[in-house]
Amino acid sequence: MEIAFLLVAIAVTVLTVTAIAGRIGIAAPIPLILVGWVGSYLPGVPTIHLEPEVVLLGLLPPLLYAAALSTSLVDFNANRRPILLLSVGLVAFTTVGVAVVVHEILPEVGWAAAFAIGAVVAPPDAVAATAIGRRIGLPRRIVTILEGESLLNDATALVALRTAIAAAGTAGAMAPAWEVGLDFALAAGGGLVVGIAGFLLVAKMRKHVTDPVLDTGISLVVPFATFIAAEEIHASGVVAVVVAGLLLGHKAPILQTAQSRIAERMNWRTLAFMLENTVFLLIGLQAHWLVDDVRASTLPTGTIVGVCLATLVAVVVLRMAWVFPVRYLLIRPGPDPATGRRPPASYTFLIGWAGMRGVVTLAAAFIIPDTVPHREVLLMIAFTVVAGTLLLQGLSLGWLARRLNVPAPDPMDDALARATLLQQASKASHKVLAELKADDPYGVADLIRQRIEQRNFAAWERLGTTAGEESPAALYARVREEMIKAERRRVLEIRSTGSVPSEVVSDVLAMLDIEESMLDAAEQERADVEAERVRRPVGQACDHLLSTPLADPAGELECGACLAIGSRWVALRMCLACGEIGCCDSSPNRHASAHFHESTHPVMRSVEPGEDWRWCFVHHLTA
């Protein structure tokens, strides 16, 4: 009962602190560590020792797998050079640098133990990077690089730690560099093979599994199975889990049913949310007993404080010393495809500053054998680096990003890209619809075309409509949500009579929930777009867009054709060939499209306030 009560108390604390942090606009890891730190000194709170096996086998595989599933393999591959430079090169560089600093202050620990603590504090944490980076709105490319680095650097650090511990057991004789490199290559290569094998096995199974519950159950087994299989052959379980997660996430639209993908996504989001936030609370709960152990140390307090602070400074400085000299390799010399501009040096600075450590560092420290001299001080070094980087860098990262004018992802760019992508998808679906030769006496094809148009119009309307007027999509959402509430009330009334089987009632309620959730998501997107009015180049280009420069309207911003017939418009577009202004396709009369079909002028632009994107009617592309 005591253990059960403790687990429930931890869960309730995590949920409460996370909710409060979200309301006041700060990343959850920082207050969770502080609450855990304070809680470790409260009477009645039991002493919790975070065992390495619990973290490395119980927490690390699912956290890595959840992060890998949501990571774009395309983006990961596009940034593989900086990711490898950080996850392998920087970890090795930091391990050596910290070893020199620790050995200089505490020569009695020996070189093997110094290298061990260097490997422990070298890898930044995937959970911390993702949780803080996304929360403060870092550019997506920076988040991708940090996330990719954090997914792989644990493998490098654990191989280095294993080598250092082995040396500590053999009178401190360190293995030569080539042997360490070979050990890492074998561990990474073995993990790659196991990860690919796990992916192929699960992919084959999923071809025969359509039950979402069974499919999600398989997904829950994958990270543990691949991790254990890799470790059994002395390969890297971290690499195996990451590879399997990246491939399965990339192929999910092909291998899984829609229901399975939705179920898996929601389950892993919930698991990752609880595990990653629990991890930060547990880090803080280690503070009390770690401090007590250090007090019993034979080393002077000044020396202990000095080596802890020196190591904290070293991991920050060494990361900066690595990223700036290799900036040419970290940042592509050409323009970034996502923005059309060359990434500035401020991106490199943020990558260097975002080196928060997490639970893997603390867990790896506990692997250091008890026979190592001053082990309690080495554990305190690890705790200082974890807490210090999360508090120092985690709290200041958002402020620095704002001071450096680093732009967060723009909801307007996302909305424009989403509308264009839906238009391209519709183009492909219309082609399939035209090729189907089935008899259609009921007008099904026209109904399908109408629904596709409504979906696309709603996406375009989120970009902007006439100021002060509710768009058709927003009006539809508001009215339909009120109708759904009435439908749900009636279904619940019927349920209370017991005249309809409960399974049928549940199915109907689920249908209403799905529709309402889609309306809620669309409304949130509209709110995000409305709150952000920064414009930057986005999308692809074609010959028409490249040869048609942006031009401003010369006359009144109105649709003359609509005024002539007494109609209203939703949003206005202007032909960049002749200057004709017409209403968009969401408007009842679609005069902009009609102008294109009459004149064949290919490019128009939006003339809504603050909008300057262009659209090619021929290629269905935006710029």
pLDDT digits (tens, 9 = 90+) for 25-70: 777 888 998 999 999 999 888 888 878 788 888 888 998 899 889 8
pLDDT for 143 equals: 83
Of 609 and 565, the one with more pLDDT = 565
- 331-378 confidence digits (pLDDT tens): 554 555 555 566 778 888 888 898 888 878 887 888 888 888 888 899
Q: C-alpha dihedral over 30, 32, 37, 41, to 10 degrees?
A: 150
pLDDT for 435 equals: 82
pLDDT for 536 equals: 44
Dihedral sign (CA 570, 571, 572, 573): negative
Q: H-type helices in 70-139, by residue range?
A: 73-78, 80-84, 91-105, 110-121, 126-136
Q: What are phi and psi of 583, to 5 degrees?
A: -90, 155
Of 183 and 486, the one with more pLDDT = 486
Question: At CB < 8 A and 24+ separation, what contacts does 468-471 make?
Answer: 469/570, 471/570, 471/586
Of 51 and 170, the one with more pLDDT = 51
Contact 575, 561 (CB under 8 A): no
CA dist., res. 424 & res. 372, Å (int): 62
pLDDT for 534 equals: 44
pLDDT for 166 equals: 77
Position 126 confidence tier, pLDDT thresholds 50, 70, 90 = low
pLDDT for 316 equals: 94
- 441-491 confidence digits (pLDDT tens): 778 888 888 888 888 887 777 776 555 667 788 888 889 999 999 999 999
Dihedral sign (CA 366, 372, 374, 377): negative
What is the amino acid identity at position 409? Answer: P
pLDDT for 337 equals: 54
Q: How far is CA 567 from the centre of its chain?
A: 45
Write the burial class of residue 273 (CB in 10 Å: 0-12 exposed, 13-18 middle, 19+ buried): middle
Instruction: Tell me the Cα Rg of the chain.
Output: 29
CA dist., res. 151 & res. 138, Å (int): 18
Which has the minimum average pLDDT: 40-44, 82-86, 172-176? 172-176
Q: C-alpha dihedral over 14, 16, 17, 18, to 10 degrees?
A: 80
Contact 284, 36 (CB under 8 A): yes
Q: Which are the contacts of 357, defined by CB distance < 8 A and separation ≥ 6? A: 121, 123, 124, 125, 128, 315, 385, 386, 389, 390
Q: Using the CB atoms, write b or e for 231-249: b if 16+ within 10 Å.
A: beeebbbbbbbbbbbbbbb
% of the chain at pLDDT higher than 70: 90
Beta-strand (E) ranges in 338-478?
Answer: none
Is the pLDDT at 171 greater than 60, yes or no? no
- The position carrying tokens 């005249």 is 499
pLDDT for 205 equals: 93
For the chain, give the mean pLDDT. 85
CA dist., res. 591 & res. 604, Å (int): 12
Contact 244, 65 (CB under 8 A): yes
pLDDT for 331 equals: 56
CA dist., res. 126 & res. 202, Å (int): 25
What is the amino acid identity at position 581? Answer: I
